[in-house]
Chains A and B, each alone.
Chain A
Amino acid sequence: MTGRWPGKLATQAVLLANAVLVLAPMVIMALSAFKSTREIFQNPFGLPVVWRLENFSRVWVEARFALYFRNSVVVTLASLLIILVFGAMAGYALGRVRFAGNDALYLYFLSGLMLPIRLGIIPLFILMRNLRLLDTPWALILTYAASGLPSAVFILTGFFRALPADLDSAARIDGAGEWLIFRGVMLPLVRPALVIVAIYNLIPIWNDFFFPLVFIQSDRLKTLPLGMTAFFGQYYTDWALLFAGLTLAAVPVIALYVLLSQHFIRGLTAGAVKG
């Protein structure tokens, strides 16, 4: 665009400085994961003298990261599946079918976008206890699914509404049943919206620390963020192991982000950015 070269240079200097501020801590984290604790203390910024992988294998097995990973994957995928299926069904009904109370129900779901469910944690805890779901993955899955539904309903209802009016009547004339119209005709057309809903919910669920802290006691059921706090308490002097644990925990999200960065940026800012 415009601007003479001193201006451009200053712009690049600022942007580059911020990029370093963002990336340097992560690079140092990853490099430290290959060092010994002594080497981290003596030479925190340089490359490792020997690239040792044993920190990672110890974290994976000894510190039970394999288990925490599996728990996080199960809980996250189950929650996302419920959010997408139930959210799409409700969004379809709210966006395509005229019935008494449609607007009221839509607004009811929307209220969930504003109210942080965490404020209801005491009743929720008692509810889970009475349902005998405390210290099970279901306490997490049901909480995440229920609190993710408002965003799904909001986004998907809008997309379903925007589909052409004649679509379902045409399918109906062809003799398609309700489920087929939904599953075979409508759902494929809102696939971009499903991606947005999935990413919008994926990161907060995967990263959540609060609900496991409250609901999960047994070590074998801990998700990654909660497992990491136990790990840090146990190995707090073994910095090589700590950095390896942090790196290992960060890698899946960063890898996914590098592959799908545009989807992530759009999905995570959905609601704050129009269009």
Chain B
Amino acid sequence: MPGSNRSAGDSAAGRAEVAPPAPRSTPSRRRPPLSLRATRRLWLIVFLAPATALFAIFVTYPILSALAFSLYAWEGIGRRGFVGLANFARLFATFPYSQLLGNAFWHNVLVFGVTMVVQNGAALALALLLARSPRGAKIYRVIFFLPVTLSLVIVGFLWALFLNPVFGIVNRLLAGAGLGAWARPWLGDPATALLTLTLINAWRWLGFPTIVFLAGINAVPEEYLEAGRIDGATEWQLTRHVIFPLLAPAVTIIVLLTFIGSFNWFELPYVVQGVSGGPNRSTDVLSLFFYRLAFGEVDTGLQDIGIGSAIAVLMFLVLVTVSALAAVLLRRREVELA
């Protein structure tokens, strides 16, 4: 992966005045005349300034400001006095914020758990099958990945039509299969809405972990498997004791991406169930709660940028902690395997 070791291919420009951190193998070159060095420095600025400025203004500044915003009182979009951690205290301890926070957070946890088991479990199984190079493996790969390219707005609306309690094809298929008693308003019943939405999400994403696992399995050296076969290992033993341990980095990445995706879940619940996470807050998640606090809600008019920013800070801290943890895990495993 780029970034770890730098090739000796750096150009000579601008190097002369910088003390190299370590002895370099490149032969020392004649120092260019001053005017040339100044020109090169100017070029360096021309090359770096646009990207750096854009990134600083429209990414770094907003994220850092969000941290600061959580420490102030707000009236609408106007900032009032500094209040320290009062927004966090209100978020955790006062009605209705603490109830809504707990409810939404629990839903994010459920989405993560169900996605891990159903989506990523199925993806691993599919990847193991595809890795045996069955007939049509290439076509299957392309088909499985197709929904990943579709907009979640399309996916959400499409399944909302299919799951319509009266006219949707899902309940009609159940009735046709003699399971008419199972038919229900899947998205309209608080008992099933979140699970249904999570499964729609899994339908859209399934191809992604499948491809990542497949790449991981294909990277297992063929000699390891050959050696195992010569020793009389069964396919399952090879999978369990050779492929799984070597798949650890791919699994770590998928767990991390699933976590980030689950805790930033927004489009699908918003498009299908609305900004309030209906029915009866059964599909409310942190991003929806955050969005309502930031930009207001139609039914309650609840808007509080201070508390909204406090949620953003909490989500930020959780994501950074988990990402850092995953990075450490990944690196350690890579060292073990090296």
Inter-chain contact B54/A249, CB cutoff 8 Å: no
Inter-chain contact B62/A120, CB cutoff 8 Å: yes
Bound Cα distance A237, B154 (Å): 17
Bound Cα distance A97, B57 (Å): 24
Please, what's the 1-or-0 string for A87-113, where 1 marks a CB less than 8 Å from any CB in chain B? 101101110111110000110111010
Inter-chain contact A97/B14, CB cutoff 8 Å: yes
Query: Is A48 located at the chain interface by the 8 A CB criterion?
Result: no
Inter-chain contact B51/A249, CB cutoff 8 Å: no
Which residue of B is nearest A112, CB measured? B59
Inter-chain contact B7/A161, CB cutoff 8 Å: yes
Contacts of B212 in A (CB 8 A): 269, 272-273
Please, what's the 1-or-0 string for B112-136, where 1 marks a CB less than 8 Å from any CB in chain A? 0000000000100110011011111
20 further interface pairs, Cβ-Cβ under 8 Å (given A123-B66, A243-B161): A3-B235, A22-B143, A28-B169, A89-B47, A93-B47, A96-B10, A98-B15, A114-B319, A120-B65, A126-B77, A154-B2, A154-B3, A162-B9, A178-B40, A207-B151, A209-B152, A210-B267, A229-B271, A249-B151, A274-B219
Q: Which applies to chain B's interface (DSSP): helix, strand, loop or mixed?
A: helix
Inter-chain contact A253/B50, CB cutoff 8 Å: no
Bound Cα distance A243, B157 (Å): 9
CB distance from B200 to the nearest CB of A (A): 10
Inter-chain contact B66/A122, CB cutoff 8 Å: yes
Inter-chain contact A97/B10, CB cutoff 8 Å: yes
Query: Is B240 located at the chain interface by the 8 A CB criterion?
Result: no
Query: Is B98 located at the chain interface by the 8 A CB criterion?
Result: no
Q: Are A265 and B211 CB-contacts (below 8 A) given A97-B11, A123-B66?
A: yes
Q: Are A209 and B267 CB-contacts (below 8 A) given A14-B129, A246-B158, A269-B211?
A: yes
Which residue of B is nearest A199, CB measured? B149
Query: Is B55 located at the chain interface by the 8 A CB criterion?
Result: yes
Which residue of A is nearest B21, CB measured? A103
Bound Cα distance A213, B295 (Å): 11
Q: Which of A86, A225, A265 contacts B151 (CB 8 A)?
A: A225
Which of B85-93, B99-107, B305-313 participates in binding chain A? B305-313
A sample of 7 inter-chain contacts (CB < 8 A) reads A1-B133, A22-B207, A25-B203, A89-B50, A96-B10, A119-B312, A242-B157
Inter-chain contact B9/A87, CB cutoff 8 Å: no
Bound Cα distance A1, B151 (Å): 37
Query: Is B242 located at the chain interface by the 8 A CB criterion?
Result: no
Query: Is B48 located at the chain interface by the 8 A CB criterion?
Result: yes
Inter-chain contact B169/A45, CB cutoff 8 Å: yes
Contacts of B220 in A (CB 8 A): none
Bound Cα distance A214, B143 (Å): 33
CB distance from A187 to the nearest CB of B (A): 12
Q: Which of A207, A242, A264 contacts B152 (CB 8 A)?
A: A207
Q: Which of A18, A100, A162, A178 contacts B43 (CB 8 A)?
A: A178
Contacts of B161 in A (CB 8 A): 239, 242-243
Bound Cα distance A184, B177 (Å): 64
Which residue of B is nearest A124, CB measured? B62
Q: Which of A97, A120, A203 contacts B66 (CB 8 A)?
A: A120
